[in-house]
Amino acid sequence: MIDGGTLSLFLLAVLALFLSPGPNMAFVLSHGIAMGPRAGLAAGLGIAGADLVHTLCAATGVTALVAAWPPSFDVLRYAGALYLLWLAWQALRSGDAALHGRADVVSFGRVVRMAWLNNLVNPKALLFFMVFLPQFVSPARGSVPMQLLQLGIALSLAGLLFNTMLGACSGQIGRWLQRRHAAGFQRGLLATVMVALALRLLFIDRPSKGL
């Protein structure tokens, strides 16, 4: 079991990471601004779901197996970049009505799935869970996989809370833009962010070992 002191230190480190601009923050902000608060919430849920999958993979050793195959990093990042470019294309070709966050145009579930898949195919996220979580694990406190699960669940819940608030705030900005008939700007912003994230994946440095 994780003790209170370790958990507190872990959550402080996680908060510092959340406050640093990154791909998850960009994904939530861009979808909240483009599609409204519901899309921001959906993006946060999708990211949290992917974090849970990453946690399970790290706790069960799946991540280590993937990391042991050298080409895995490139496979994941190319797949992720292609997916982000596809999302950018979808944003550009969608009509203005798709940017008003209406359930009949852009479904809540679809945004959840997009955020989930985007996070899941990010090799840096996979590597992060493999490297970051074990730093707060002590074999003397019992099962290592169980401690990894506890830490991963805590991170996922904290991320969900943070991204939900971030999505709500960015969604209000989106509504303000909608009232000013700035749908084109919203669509362009979303596409630009997706392209930027894709380029980031393509040009990130490959780790010297493992992934």
Task: Please say if the pLDDT value at position 181 is more than 90.
Answer: no
DSSP characters over 72-140: HHHHHHHHHHHHHHHHHHHHHHS-GGGGG--TTTS-HHHHHHHHHHHHHT-HHHHHHHHHHGGGG--GG
The answer to whether residue 112 sits within a structural domain is yes
DSSP 3: -
pLDDT one-digit tens code per residue, 71-109: 888 888 899 899 989 888 887 876 544 444 443 356 889
Please state, in angstroms and as integers, the Cα–Cα distance from residue 24 to each residue in 12, 46, 98, 147, following that order: 18, 10, 22, 24
Q: Are 17 and 135 in contact (CB under 8 A)?
A: no
Query: Could you tell me if residue 209 is inside a domain?
Result: no
- Could you give the CA distance from residue 59 to residue 117 in angstroms, rounded to a whole number? 20
Model pLDDT for residues 25-54, shown as the tens digit of each residue: 999 999 998 888 899 999 999 999 999 999
Q: Which two tokens stand for residue 121?
A: 């195919």
Is 196 domain-assigned?
yes
> Taking residues 162-171, what's their average pLDDT?
91
In a domain, 210, yes or no: no
**pLDDT, the chain, mean:** 84
In a domain, 18, yes or no: yes
* Predicted structure pTM score: 0.82
- 211 within a domain of the structure (yes/no): no
Number of compact structural domains in the chain: 1
| In a domain? residue 23 | yes
Categorize the per-residue pLDDT at 180 as very low, low, confident or very high, splitting at 50, 70 and 90: low
Q: Which of 73, 74, 124, 113 is nearest to 90 (CA)?
A: 113
Q: Rounded to 5, what percent of the chain is helix, strand, coil?
A: 80, 0, 20
Residue span of the structural domain in which 65 resides: 4-203
Amino acid at 23: P
CB 29 within 8 A of CB 172: no
Report residue 106 as tokens: 């852009």
Do 58 and 196 touch, CB atoms closer than 8 A?
no
In a domain, 43, yes or no: yes
pLDDT reported for residue 176:
80
